[in-house]
């Protein structure tokens, strides 16, 4: 009974946030519910009729989880999804509260949740300790350096994930004779050495963990040189430097270890037409398709459902303003920024707005901008405008990258957007690359809304 009134309060908070234009109610309902009842998520977990799908990784969580959700919904299933991108535990709980009835009843087939890297072990622990849940699918996309002041290096996150999976092995031993053993399906990026290693050791040591891999096999897409933002180039098994047949971006590629013999697993899926441009979206699409196949959705249904896929907010989202198009790319770490830059340059941009913030969602340390390959902008006939809370830090980096090429610094975001609109003609596109809080600020200027 206690859960019922907590959920009622949460739904009221969500409603008030929306009505008063204070946000989308994507975090506070869950935050309040968790402070009163730490077990509220477990209460919801037991109500899903089919399965829970968790999507984790540094980049691509929002797009991948949205693809999975849209395909399942078009296939006739009801899905609870934290579509706002609030991916801490409070955001996941908020999504459940918003979809439940006032007494807490959750009539849904699937839960599809993108989960923050630090929060993943907590969410896994809650699900695997709920006896009524027979299994779940875990999609592991990639691990890049991101918010070092909050997360630390990628090895720190990998250790936490490995510990969580080790605990699953311990649980398996305790329940080896039980009928309630949980089956975990791991959908893992074969081209990311750390991710592939985690999936491999988990599946080898625990019969109830099944690993499936996605990756690319198109050698024509190999990049010509190594990115500045190359993180995991050492073997996760023995620590030796990895050898690569080729890299697609950052440390993602066809890898092997000359010392211990570890190598990239053969992908179970390596080709699918992405509905969005960009190499990173090919990976997101492969991950989504692999996850959907694992829960029994046919390829024909997947193909049909993805034909009109629209990007999530801030992820290649398009707006029309004063007769001009604005295309927004979330670019929150070196690997993501490099991928966005390459995708945008392939579109032959006229104007580029770069926005850098250092708020809590972004991380206070902005030194990572020196690992972004802004040098690719040199000698390009592109109007470049720099804005955001740390506009001058970014301006220094751009100055070093393009040297004698002129660009504009405008710390006032509204003025910066107004300026870029004046640089293009009707029907032309302004490309905006922004960190997380900067992306939300851009959307607020354009739409008059904000997400909390």
pLDDT tens digits for range 212-228: 999 999 999 998 777 66
Tokens at 213, concatenated: 């891999």
Q: Which residue's structure tokens are 């009928």?
A: 179
CATH number at residue 371: 3.90.190.20
DSSP string spanning 88-149? SHHHHHHHHHHHS-TT-----SEEEEEE-TTTHHHHHHHHHT-TT--EEEEEE-------HH
* One domain, residues 343 and 399: yes
Which band of pLDDT confidence, cut at 50, 70 and 90, is reported for residue 1? very low
Q: Are 280 and 259 in contact (CB under 8 A)?
A: no
**Residue 415 CB neighbours (<10 A):** 12
Structural domain includes residue 428: yes
* One domain, residues 368 and 276: no
Which band of pLDDT confidence, cut at 50, 70 and 90, is reported for residue 435? very high
Last residue of a domain, one of 259, 276, 306: 306
* One domain, residues 224 and 269: yes
Domain that holds residue 411: 315-447
CA atoms within 13 A on the CB side of 207: 6
Structural domain includes residue 452: no
Structural domain includes residue 223: yes
Tokens at 288, concatenated: 């989504």
* One domain, residues 64 and 206: yes
Q: What is the pLDDT of residue 154?
A: 82
Specify the pTM. 0.91
* One domain, residues 60 and 179: yes
Q: What is the pLDDT of residue 452?
A: 45
- Does the pLDDT value for residue 183 go beyond 60? yes
Nearest to 365 by CA among 336, 397, 393: 393
Last residue of a domain, one of 285, 306, 327: 306
Structural domain includes residue 224: yes
- Give me the mean pLDDT over the 335-348 stretch: 94
In sequence order, which residues have a C-beta less than 8 Å from that of residue 225 and are 6 or more positions away?
none
- Give me the mean pLDDT over the 288-315 stretch: 94
103 or 434, which is more confident: 434
* One domain, residues 231 and 140: yes
Last residue of a domain, one of 306, 339, 361: 306
* One domain, residues 68 and 182: yes
Distance between CA atoms of 194 and 52, rounded to whole angstroms?
24
* One domain, residues 426 and 284: no
* One domain, residues 293 and 426: no
Q: What is the pLDDT of residue 208?
A: 82
Q: Is 118 exposed, middle or buried (0-12, 13-18, 19+ CB in 10 A)?
A: middle
Structural domain includes residue 143: yes
- Does the pLDDT value for residue 243 go beyond 50? yes
Lowest mean pLDDT across 30-34, 187-191, 229-233, 411-415:
229-233
* One domain, residues 72 and 167: yes
Q: What is the pLDDT of residue 3?
A: 60
Q: 239: helix, coil or strand?
A: coil
**Residue 407 CB neighbours (<10 A):** 17
- Give me the mean pLDDT over the 151-179 stretch: 70
Distance between CA atoms of 130 and 270, rounded to whole angstroms?
34
Which band of pLDDT confidence, cut at 50, 70 and 90, is reported for residue 230? confident
* One domain, residues 10 and 51: yes
Total tally of structural domains belonging to the chain: 2
* One domain, residues 298 and 321: no
**β pairing state of 429-434 and 351-355:** parallel
């Amino acid at each position: 009974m206690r859960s019922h009134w907590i959920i009622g309060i949460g739904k009221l908070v969500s409603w008030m946030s929306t009505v008063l234009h204070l946000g989308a109610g994507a975090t506070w309902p869950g935050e309040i519910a968790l402070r009163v009842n730490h077990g509220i998520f477990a209460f919801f977990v037991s109500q899903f009729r089919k399965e829970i799908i968790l999507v984790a990784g540094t980049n691509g969580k929002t797009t991948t989880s949205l693809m999975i959700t849209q395909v399942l919904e078009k296939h006739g299933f009801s899905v609870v999804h934290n579509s706002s991108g609030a991916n801490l535990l409070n955001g996941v709980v908020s999504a459940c509260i918003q979809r439940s009835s006032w007494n807490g009843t959750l009539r849904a087939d699937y839960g599809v949740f993108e989960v923050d890297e630090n929060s993943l072990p907590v969410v896994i622990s809650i699900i695997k300790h709920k006896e009524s849940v027979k299994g779940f699918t875990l999609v592991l996309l990639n691990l890049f350096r991101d918010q070092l002041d909050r997360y630390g290096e990628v090895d720190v996150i990998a250790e936490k994930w490995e510990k969580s999976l080790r605990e699953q092995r311990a649980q398996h031993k305790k329940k080896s004779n039980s009928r309630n053993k949980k089956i975990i399906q791991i959908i893992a990026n074969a081209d990311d050495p750390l991710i592939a290693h985690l999936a491999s050791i988990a599946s080898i040591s625990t019969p109830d963990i099944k690993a499936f891999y996605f990756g690319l096999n198109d050698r024509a897409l190999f990049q010509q040189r190594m990115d500045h933002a190359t993180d995991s180039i050492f073997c996760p098994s023995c620590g030796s430097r990895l050898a690569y047949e080729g890299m697609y971006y950052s440390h993602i590629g066809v890898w092997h270890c000359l010392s211990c013999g570890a190598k990239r697993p053969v992908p179970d899926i390596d080709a699918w037409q992405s509905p969005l441009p960009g190499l990173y979206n090919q990976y997101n699409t492969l991950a989504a398709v692999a996850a959907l196949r694992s829960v029994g959705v046919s390829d024909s249904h997947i193909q049909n459902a993805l034909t009109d896929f629209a990007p999530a907010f801030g992820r290649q989202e398009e707006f029309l303003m004063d007769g001009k198009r604005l295309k927004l790319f979330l670019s929150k770490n070196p690997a993501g920024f490099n991928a966005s830059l390459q995708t945008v340059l392939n579109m032959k941009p006229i104007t580029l707005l770069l926005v850098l913030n250092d708020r809590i969602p972004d991380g206070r340390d902005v030194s990572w901008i020196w690992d972004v390959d802004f040098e690719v902008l040199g000698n390009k006939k592109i109007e470049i405008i720099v804005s955001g809370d740390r506009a001058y830090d970014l301006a220094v980096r751009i100055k070093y990258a393009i040297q004698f090429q002129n660009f504009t610094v405008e710390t006032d975001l509204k003025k910066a957007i107004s300026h870029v609109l004046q640089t293009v003609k009707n029907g032309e596109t302004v490309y905006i690359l922004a960190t997380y809080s900067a992306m939300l600020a851009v959307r607020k200027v354009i739409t008059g809304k904000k997400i909390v």
